[in-house]
Amino acid sequence: MNQLTADKRAAQKQQTVLGVTLALAIIVAWLAAHIAAIFVVDWGSAGIIAAVAMIMFQSWLFTGLFIVAHDCMHGSFAPGKPWLNRLFGRATLLLYAAFSFDRLLPEHHKHHKFAGTADDPDFDENHPDEFWPWLWRFMTHYYGWREFAAMSVAMIVYFFAFEPLYWKVVMFYALPAIISALQLFYFGTYLPHRHEEGEFEDRHNSRTNDYPWLVSLFTCFHFGYHHEHHLSPGTPWYRLPSVRAARRRQEMNEATA
């Protein structure tokens, strides 16, 4: 094995370990928040501010589940280990909204191949700058009877098994999931791909939400650095800020040259 191959394998191993560690942290945090919100916390004593904070925290963790699955679709979660990408991709999408990883995988790669065109499953060519019609098309394309049935069964089990807690299930399970879907669509699809004058700089038909690091993390796990993602789809979510910073340095150097 030559040094280049050894260095590549070491880098892939490091990326896999970090990806798995962060994914497990998100999954464990999501499960802990879910259990605490529904079964442990007395919200009558905790108050409205704590309840709102928990809803937003859970929404963010829901978003994290999807972003992990998204990295799995690109193989950047565990480079060179397709079985591990499938395992975590399927698990996180199941927790997120019972989505099928195997169905979303080819659709997402079509999005990258045909971004911002009529062949892009994530794009609404009839409403390229309108939020609500585009959201409706997006949701009805991906959220079907399979997902509706699975989520309905989960809700029914909660309602019948833990009847006194039904309002908690709605507030701390259903509501955060809905907010997360809006969050992912707005910051990860609509803002980066909506059509405007002045348009896009290349065939990826995408732009970057140029937020500071912390804002980028909390809005959409850096998925808003979207042009960078399209330029480097093999880069995992936590390294997109580095790619963005490198591009900005390059742009500044070119501007001053």
Flag whether 239 is in a domain: no
- The pLDDT-based confidence of 3 (bands split at 50, 70, 90) is low
8 Å CB contact between 121 and 134: no
Question: What are the Cα distances from residue 191, in Å, to 59, 125, 182?
Answer: 19, 15, 12
For residue 150, pLDDT over 90 is answered with no
Flag whether 192 is in a domain: no
Phi, then psi, of 118 in degrees rounded to 5: -65, -20
d(CA 13, CA 2): 17
d(CA 77, CA 70): 9
Flag whether 99 is in a domain: yes
Question: Above pLDDT 90, what percent of the chain?
Answer: 72
Q: Given this model, what pLDDT does residue 257 score?
A: 67
pLDDT in tens, 159-172: 777 766 778 888 99
Flag whether 67 is in a domain: yes
**Start-to-end Cα distance in the chain:** 41
Burial of residue 40 (number of CB atoms within 10 Å: 0-12, 13-18, 19+): exposed
Flag whether 111 is in a domain: yes
Range of the domain at 99: 3-187
pLDDT in tens, 13-71: 999 999 999 999 999 999 999 999 998 998 889 889 999 999 999 999 999 999 999 99
Q: Across all residues in the chain, what is the average pLDDT?
A: 91
Dihedral sign from CA coordinates of 92, 94, 95, 96? positive
Output the CA torsion 36→178→99→227 (10° steps): -110
For residue 1, pLDDT over 60 is answered with no
pLDDT in tens, 67-116: 999 999 999 999 999 999 999 999 999 999 899 999 999 999 999 999 99
Flag whether 72 is in a domain: yes
Q: What is the mean pLDDT of residues 175-195?
A: 95
Q: Given this model, what pLDDT does residue 64 score?
A: 98
Domains: count for the chain: 1
Flag whether 197 is in a domain: no
For residue 197, pLDDT over 80 is answered with no
Q: Name the packing angle between helices 82-97 and 3-35 (round to 10°).
A: 20
Q: Given this model, what pLDDT does residue 147 score?
A: 85
Flag whether 193 is in a domain: no
Q: What is the mean pLDDT of residues 245-251?
A: 87
The tokens describing 122, both together, are: 């994530």
Angle at 59 between CA 128 and CA 195, to 5 degrees: 10
